[in-house]
Amino acid sequence: MRTFRVTAHRTKWIVMAVITIATAAVLSPWASSHPDGLERVAEDHGFLHQATAWNKLALIPGYELSSIKWTAASVGLTGLIGIAVMAGALWGLTRLLTRSGGGRNEQSAPDGIKLKHDNG
Amino acid sequence: MHIPDGFLDAKTWISTTIIGAGAVSYSLRKSKLSLEPNKIPMVALIGAFVFAAQMINFPIAGATSGHFLGGAMTSILFGPWIGTIVMAAVLLVQAIVFQDGGITVLGANILCTGFIGCFTGNGIYMLGIKLLKGRGRAALTFIASWMSIVAAASGVALLLALSGTFELATAIQAMVGWHMLIGIGEGVITMLVTGYLMERSTAIPARGGQAAYENVPRHRA
Protein backbone atom coordinates (compact mmCIF):
# COMPACT_ATOMS: atom_id res chain seq x y z
CA MET A 1 0.00 0.00 0.00
CA ARG A 2 1.23 3.47 -0.87
CA THR A 3 1.37 5.86 2.02
CA PHE A 4 2.08 9.55 1.96
CA ARG A 5 3.66 12.01 4.30
CA VAL A 6 4.35 15.71 4.47
CA THR A 7 7.57 16.54 2.67
CA ALA A 8 10.63 17.77 4.54
CA HIS A 9 12.15 19.38 1.44
CA ARG A 10 13.14 22.86 2.48
CA THR A 11 12.73 24.36 -1.00
CA LYS A 12 9.11 23.27 -1.23
CA TRP A 13 8.30 24.95 2.08
CA ILE A 14 10.09 28.12 1.00
CA VAL A 15 8.00 28.14 -2.20
CA MET A 16 4.90 27.66 -0.02
CA ALA A 17 5.93 30.64 2.11
CA VAL A 18 6.41 32.80 -1.00
CA ILE A 19 2.96 31.73 -2.29
CA THR A 20 1.43 32.60 1.09
CA ILE A 21 3.03 36.07 1.17
CA ALA A 22 2.09 36.75 -2.45
CA THR A 23 -1.51 35.65 -1.85
CA ALA A 24 -1.86 37.82 1.25
CA ALA A 25 -0.13 40.92 -0.12
CA VAL A 26 -0.66 40.94 -3.87
CA LEU A 27 -3.69 38.80 -4.68
CA SER A 28 -5.95 39.84 -1.80
CA PRO A 29 -7.02 43.28 -3.17
CA TRP A 30 -8.35 41.52 -6.27
CA ALA A 31 -10.69 39.20 -4.40
CA SER A 32 -14.33 39.20 -5.52
CA SER A 33 -16.48 41.54 -3.47
CA HIS A 34 -19.67 39.60 -4.21
CA PRO A 35 -21.41 38.11 -1.14
CA ASP A 36 -20.16 34.63 -0.26
CA GLY A 37 -22.35 31.50 -0.13
CA LEU A 38 -23.78 32.12 3.34
CA GLU A 39 -24.33 35.86 2.71
CA ARG A 40 -26.10 35.02 -0.54
CA VAL A 41 -28.42 32.59 1.26
CA ALA A 42 -29.05 35.13 4.05
CA GLU A 43 -29.89 37.80 1.48
CA ASP A 44 -32.17 35.54 -0.57
CA HIS A 45 -34.02 34.33 2.51
CA GLY A 46 -34.27 37.74 4.12
CA PHE A 47 -32.19 37.40 7.26
CA LEU A 48 -29.02 39.25 6.28
CA HIS A 49 -30.20 42.25 8.35
CA GLN A 50 -29.89 40.09 11.50
CA ALA A 51 -26.09 40.17 11.17
CA THR A 52 -24.41 42.22 13.88
CA ALA A 53 -20.89 42.46 15.23
CA TRP A 54 -20.28 42.07 18.95
CA ASN A 55 -16.61 42.70 18.56
CA LYS A 56 -16.32 46.49 18.53
CA LEU A 57 -12.64 46.34 19.44
CA ALA A 58 -11.44 44.71 16.21
CA LEU A 59 -8.21 46.41 15.17
CA ILE A 60 -8.79 46.01 11.44
CA PRO A 61 -12.52 45.44 10.79
CA GLY A 62 -13.29 44.30 7.25
CA TYR A 63 -9.63 43.76 6.29
CA GLU A 64 -9.06 47.43 5.48
CA LEU A 65 -6.90 49.95 7.24
CA SER A 66 -8.97 53.12 7.17
CA SER A 67 -5.85 55.29 7.48
CA ILE A 68 -4.60 54.19 4.07
CA LYS A 69 -6.55 55.65 1.16
CA TRP A 70 -5.18 53.36 -1.53
CA THR A 71 -7.36 50.26 -1.20
CA ALA A 72 -4.95 47.81 -2.82
CA ALA A 73 -2.18 48.81 -0.41
CA SER A 74 -4.56 48.80 2.55
CA VAL A 75 -5.87 45.29 1.87
CA GLY A 76 -2.44 43.96 0.93
CA LEU A 77 -0.89 45.30 4.12
CA THR A 78 -3.76 43.81 6.11
CA GLY A 79 -3.05 40.48 4.49
CA LEU A 80 0.59 40.68 5.52
CA ILE A 81 -0.35 41.60 9.10
CA GLY A 82 -2.82 38.71 9.11
CA ILE A 83 -0.35 36.05 8.01
CA ALA A 84 2.27 37.35 10.46
CA VAL A 85 -0.21 37.21 13.35
CA MET A 86 -1.38 33.78 12.21
CA ALA A 87 2.07 32.26 11.87
CA GLY A 88 3.19 33.80 15.16
CA ALA A 89 0.15 32.58 17.07
CA LEU A 90 0.41 29.04 15.71
CA TRP A 91 4.16 28.90 16.21
CA GLY A 92 3.73 29.89 19.85
CA LEU A 93 0.81 27.54 20.42
CA THR A 94 2.35 24.47 18.80
CA ARG A 95 5.67 25.13 20.55
CA LEU A 96 3.80 25.20 23.82
CA LEU A 97 2.07 21.93 22.90
CA THR A 98 5.30 20.11 22.09
CA ARG A 99 7.03 21.57 25.15
CA SER A 100 4.37 20.45 27.59
CA GLY A 101 4.09 17.06 25.91
CA GLY A 102 6.60 15.53 28.30
CA GLY A 103 9.68 13.69 27.13
CA ARG A 104 9.97 15.94 24.13
CA ASN A 105 12.49 18.27 25.68
CA GLU A 106 15.46 16.29 24.42
CA GLN A 107 15.51 18.80 21.59
CA SER A 108 17.27 21.27 23.84
CA ALA A 109 20.05 18.84 24.71
CA PRO A 110 21.97 18.93 21.41
CA ASP A 111 21.74 22.74 21.41
CA GLY A 112 23.37 22.84 24.83
CA ILE A 113 26.21 20.61 23.71
CA LYS A 114 26.72 22.63 20.56
CA LEU A 115 26.90 25.84 22.55
CA LYS A 116 29.56 24.42 24.83
CA HIS A 117 31.49 23.23 21.83
CA ASP A 118 31.38 26.65 20.21
CA ASN A 119 32.72 28.31 23.33
CA GLY A 120 35.58 25.89 23.56
CA MET B 1 -18.95 30.68 5.32
CA HIS B 2 -18.31 32.71 8.47
CA ILE B 3 -21.48 33.02 10.53
CA PRO B 4 -21.80 36.58 11.91
CA ASP B 5 -23.28 37.43 15.31
CA GLY B 6 -27.06 37.54 15.22
CA PHE B 7 -27.75 34.64 12.85
CA LEU B 8 -28.06 32.06 15.64
CA ASP B 9 -30.43 32.28 18.58
CA ALA B 10 -29.20 32.20 22.19
CA LYS B 11 -29.75 28.49 22.85
CA THR B 12 -27.91 27.54 19.66
CA TRP B 13 -24.91 29.82 20.09
CA ILE B 14 -24.53 29.05 23.78
CA SER B 15 -24.60 25.30 23.20
CA THR B 16 -22.27 25.48 20.17
CA THR B 17 -19.88 27.65 22.22
CA ILE B 18 -19.74 24.96 24.90
CA ILE B 19 -19.39 22.07 22.42
CA GLY B 20 -16.88 24.06 20.36
CA ALA B 21 -14.74 24.80 23.43
CA GLY B 22 -14.84 21.10 24.29
CA ALA B 23 -13.82 20.11 20.76
CA VAL B 24 -10.91 22.56 20.80
CA SER B 25 -9.59 21.51 24.20
CA TYR B 26 -9.83 17.83 23.24
CA SER B 27 -8.07 18.56 19.94
CA LEU B 28 -5.32 20.36 21.87
CA ARG B 29 -4.81 17.26 24.01
CA LYS B 30 -4.74 14.94 20.99
CA SER B 31 -2.40 17.30 19.08
CA LYS B 32 0.02 17.31 21.98
CA LEU B 33 0.49 13.58 21.50
CA SER B 34 0.95 13.61 17.73
CA LEU B 35 2.82 16.86 17.18
CA GLU B 36 6.54 16.59 16.52
CA PRO B 37 8.71 19.64 17.16
CA ASN B 38 9.98 19.67 13.57
CA LYS B 39 6.39 20.21 12.35
CA ILE B 40 6.06 23.55 14.19
CA PRO B 41 7.18 25.82 11.32
CA MET B 42 5.11 23.80 8.83
CA VAL B 43 1.93 24.08 10.92
CA ALA B 44 2.51 27.81 11.43
CA LEU B 45 3.06 28.38 7.71
CA ILE B 46 0.01 26.34 6.70
CA GLY B 47 -2.07 28.37 9.18
CA ALA B 48 -0.82 31.56 7.53
CA PHE B 49 -1.62 30.11 4.09
CA VAL B 50 -5.17 29.22 5.19
CA PHE B 51 -5.64 32.79 6.39
CA ALA B 52 -4.28 34.28 3.16
CA ALA B 53 -6.27 31.93 0.93
CA GLN B 54 -9.48 32.67 2.85
CA MET B 55 -9.10 36.34 1.88
CA ILE B 56 -9.40 35.46 -1.80
CA ASN B 57 -13.07 35.32 -2.71
CA PHE B 58 -13.51 33.86 -6.18
CA PRO B 59 -16.67 34.59 -8.17
CA ILE B 60 -18.91 31.58 -8.76
CA ALA B 61 -22.33 32.31 -10.22
CA GLY B 62 -25.27 34.65 -9.75
CA ALA B 63 -23.24 37.56 -8.28
CA THR B 64 -22.00 35.26 -5.54
CA SER B 65 -18.49 34.39 -4.45
CA GLY B 66 -16.84 31.68 -2.45
CA HIS B 67 -13.52 31.20 -0.76
CA PHE B 68 -11.21 28.43 0.31
CA LEU B 69 -11.72 27.10 3.86
CA GLY B 70 -8.82 24.72 4.38
CA GLY B 71 -10.13 22.11 6.82
CA ALA B 72 -9.55 19.26 4.38
CA MET B 73 -6.08 20.54 3.44
CA THR B 74 -4.77 21.00 6.99
CA SER B 75 -6.21 17.66 8.12
CA ILE B 76 -4.79 15.76 5.13
CA LEU B 77 -1.38 17.30 5.85
CA PHE B 78 -1.31 17.04 9.65
CA GLY B 79 -4.26 14.92 10.75
CA PRO B 80 -7.72 16.03 11.93
CA TRP B 81 -6.74 17.12 15.46
CA ILE B 82 -3.97 19.50 14.44
CA GLY B 83 -6.21 20.51 11.53
CA THR B 84 -8.97 21.53 13.93
CA ILE B 85 -6.49 23.55 16.00
CA VAL B 86 -5.20 25.39 12.91
CA MET B 87 -8.74 26.16 11.73
CA ALA B 88 -9.80 27.30 15.22
CA ALA B 89 -6.76 29.61 15.39
CA VAL B 90 -7.57 31.10 11.98
CA LEU B 91 -11.22 31.70 12.94
CA LEU B 92 -10.15 33.20 16.26
CA VAL B 93 -7.76 35.69 14.65
CA GLN B 94 -10.33 36.57 11.96
CA ALA B 95 -13.06 37.22 14.53
CA ILE B 96 -10.90 39.11 17.03
CA VAL B 97 -8.65 41.19 14.77
CA PHE B 98 -10.68 41.50 11.57
CA GLN B 99 -14.32 41.27 12.72
CA ASP B 100 -14.80 38.45 10.21
CA GLY B 101 -17.22 35.97 11.77
CA GLY B 102 -18.96 36.70 15.05
CA ILE B 103 -17.75 36.30 18.60
CA THR B 104 -20.84 34.57 19.97
CA VAL B 105 -20.77 32.16 17.03
CA LEU B 106 -17.06 31.34 17.24
CA GLY B 107 -17.91 27.92 18.63
CA ALA B 108 -20.39 27.31 15.82
CA ASN B 109 -17.86 28.41 13.18
CA ILE B 110 -15.13 26.26 14.71
CA LEU B 111 -17.47 23.26 14.79
CA CYS B 112 -18.65 23.67 11.19
CA THR B 113 -15.68 24.91 9.19
CA GLY B 114 -13.09 23.51 11.60
CA PHE B 115 -14.12 20.27 13.24
CA ILE B 116 -16.67 19.01 10.68
CA GLY B 117 -14.55 20.20 7.75
CA CYS B 118 -11.38 18.55 9.08
CA PHE B 119 -12.96 15.25 10.06
CA THR B 120 -15.00 14.90 6.88
CA GLY B 121 -12.02 15.77 4.68
CA ASN B 122 -9.54 13.60 6.54
CA GLY B 123 -12.00 10.75 7.06
CA ILE B 124 -12.91 10.40 3.39
CA TYR B 125 -9.27 10.84 2.34
CA MET B 126 -7.93 8.20 4.74
CA LEU B 127 -10.72 5.77 3.89
CA GLY B 128 -10.05 6.24 0.19
CA ILE B 129 -6.30 5.81 0.60
CA LYS B 130 -6.98 2.55 2.42
CA LEU B 131 -9.55 1.24 -0.09
CA LEU B 132 -7.61 2.24 -3.20
CA LYS B 133 -4.25 1.35 -1.66
CA GLY B 134 -2.93 4.84 -2.26
CA ARG B 135 -3.89 5.10 -5.92
CA GLY B 136 -5.75 8.08 -7.37
CA ARG B 137 -4.70 10.36 -4.56
CA ALA B 138 -5.33 13.60 -6.48
CA ALA B 139 -8.93 12.69 -7.37
CA LEU B 140 -9.50 11.40 -3.86
CA THR B 141 -8.20 14.67 -2.36
CA PHE B 142 -10.56 16.64 -4.60
CA ILE B 143 -13.59 14.57 -3.56
CA ALA B 144 -12.64 14.64 0.14
CA SER B 145 -12.28 18.43 0.17
CA TRP B 146 -15.43 18.96 -1.88
CA MET B 147 -17.31 16.79 0.65
CA SER B 148 -15.77 18.70 3.55
CA ILE B 149 -17.28 21.95 2.23
CA VAL B 150 -20.69 20.38 1.64
CA ALA B 151 -20.60 18.88 5.16
CA ALA B 152 -19.58 22.22 6.70
CA ALA B 153 -22.38 23.98 4.79
CA SER B 154 -24.87 21.37 6.02
CA GLY B 155 -23.65 22.01 9.57
CA VAL B 156 -24.28 25.74 9.20
CA ALA B 157 -27.71 25.01 7.66
CA LEU B 158 -28.59 22.76 10.60
CA LEU B 159 -27.62 25.47 13.12
CA LEU B 160 -29.62 28.09 11.19
CA ALA B 161 -32.63 25.76 11.22
CA LEU B 162 -32.19 25.05 14.95
CA SER B 163 -32.21 28.81 15.52
CA GLY B 164 -35.55 29.03 13.78
CA THR B 165 -34.07 31.24 11.06
CA PHE B 166 -35.54 29.02 8.39
CA GLU B 167 -36.77 25.51 7.78
CA LEU B 168 -34.17 22.70 7.71
CA ALA B 169 -34.96 21.39 4.23
CA THR B 170 -34.84 24.88 2.71
CA ALA B 171 -31.72 25.73 4.67
CA ILE B 172 -29.86 22.64 3.50
CA GLN B 173 -30.98 23.08 -0.08
CA ALA B 174 -29.83 26.70 -0.18
CA MET B 175 -26.53 26.22 1.70
CA VAL B 176 -25.52 22.96 0.03
CA GLY B 177 -26.55 24.28 -3.38
CA TRP B 178 -24.09 27.19 -3.30
CA HIS B 179 -21.35 25.27 -1.54
CA MET B 180 -21.41 22.48 -4.12
CA LEU B 181 -19.99 25.14 -6.44
CA ILE B 182 -17.62 26.66 -3.88
CA GLY B 183 -16.39 23.14 -3.06
CA ILE B 184 -14.90 22.87 -6.56
CA GLY B 185 -12.49 25.71 -5.71
CA GLU B 186 -11.71 24.05 -2.39
CA GLY B 187 -11.02 20.77 -4.16
CA VAL B 188 -8.66 22.30 -6.71
CA ILE B 189 -6.62 24.27 -4.15
CA THR B 190 -6.40 21.32 -1.73
CA MET B 191 -5.36 19.01 -4.56
CA LEU B 192 -2.59 21.37 -5.71
CA VAL B 193 -1.19 22.12 -2.25
CA THR B 194 -1.24 18.56 -0.88
CA GLY B 195 0.06 17.27 -4.22
CA TYR B 196 3.02 19.60 -3.90
CA LEU B 197 3.71 19.18 -0.19
CA MET B 198 3.24 15.43 0.18
CA GLU B 199 5.42 12.60 -1.02
CA ARG B 200 5.46 8.82 -1.05
CA SER B 201 6.37 7.56 2.34
CA THR B 202 8.98 4.85 2.50
CA ALA B 203 8.35 4.33 6.18
CA ILE B 204 6.39 1.25 7.23
CA PRO B 205 2.85 2.33 8.10
CA ALA B 206 2.21 2.26 11.82
CA ARG B 207 -0.28 -0.23 13.20
CA GLY B 208 -3.81 0.28 14.48
CA GLY B 209 -5.06 2.74 11.87
CA GLN B 210 -2.43 5.24 12.90
CA ALA B 211 -1.98 7.82 10.20
CA ALA B 212 1.02 7.21 7.99
CA TYR B 213 2.19 10.82 8.17
CA GLU B 214 3.05 10.44 11.82
CA ASN B 215 6.38 9.35 13.22
CA VAL B 216 8.25 9.52 9.98
CA PRO B 217 11.96 10.27 10.10
CA ARG B 218 13.05 13.69 9.02
CA HIS B 219 15.37 14.10 6.11
CA ARG B 220 16.76 17.17 4.54
CA ALA B 221 16.56 18.21 0.96
pTM: 0.88
Tell me the CATH number at B84.
1.10.1760.20
Residue ranges making up the domain that contains B118: 10-215
Q: Among B49, B59, B104, whose Cβ lies nearest the Cβ of A32?
A: B59
- Note the pLDDT tens digit of each residue in B12-31: 999 999 999 999 999 999 99
Q: Residue A119: its pLDDT value, please?
A: 41
Q: Residue A65: its pLDDT value, please?
A: 87
**Chain A residues within 8 A of B153 when measuring between CB atoms:** 37
**Chain B residues within 8 A of A4 when measuring between CB atoms:** 129, 134, 137, 198-201, 212-213
B5 inside domain:
no
pLDDT band at A100 (very low <50, low <70, confident <90, very high): low
> Å from B87 to nearest chain A CA?
10
Q: What DSSP line would sit under B9-58, residue for residue? A: -HHHHHHHHHHHHHHHHHHHHHHHHH--GGGHHHHHHHHHHHHHHHH--E
B220 inside domain:
no
Q: Which residue of A has its CA nearest to B215?
A: A5
Q: How many domains does chain B have?
A: 1
**Chain B residues within 8 A of A106 when measuring between CB atoms:** none
Q: Residue B218: its pLDDT value, please?
A: 52
Mean pLDDT in residue range A14-39: 96
- In sequence order, what are the residues at sequence separation of 6 or more whose Cβ sits closer than 8 angstroms to the Cβ of residue A110? none
User: What are the φ and ψ backbone dihedral angles of A100, each rounded to 5 degrees?
Assistant: -85, 5
Every domain of chain A and the residues it spans: 5-116
Selected residues 9-48 of chain A with any CB under 8 Å from a CB in chain B: 9-13, 15-17, 19-21, 23-24, 27-28, 31-38, 40-42, 44-45, 47
Question: Which carries the bigger pLDDT value, residue B145 or residue A70?
Answer: B145
- Note the pLDDT tens digit of each residue in B51-83: 999 999 999 988 999 999 999 999 999 999 999
Q: Residue A2: its pLDDT value, please?
A: 78
How many contacts (CB atoms, under 8 Å) link A and B?
A: 260
Mean pLDDT in residue range B125-134: 95
> Å from B13 to nearest chain A CA?
13
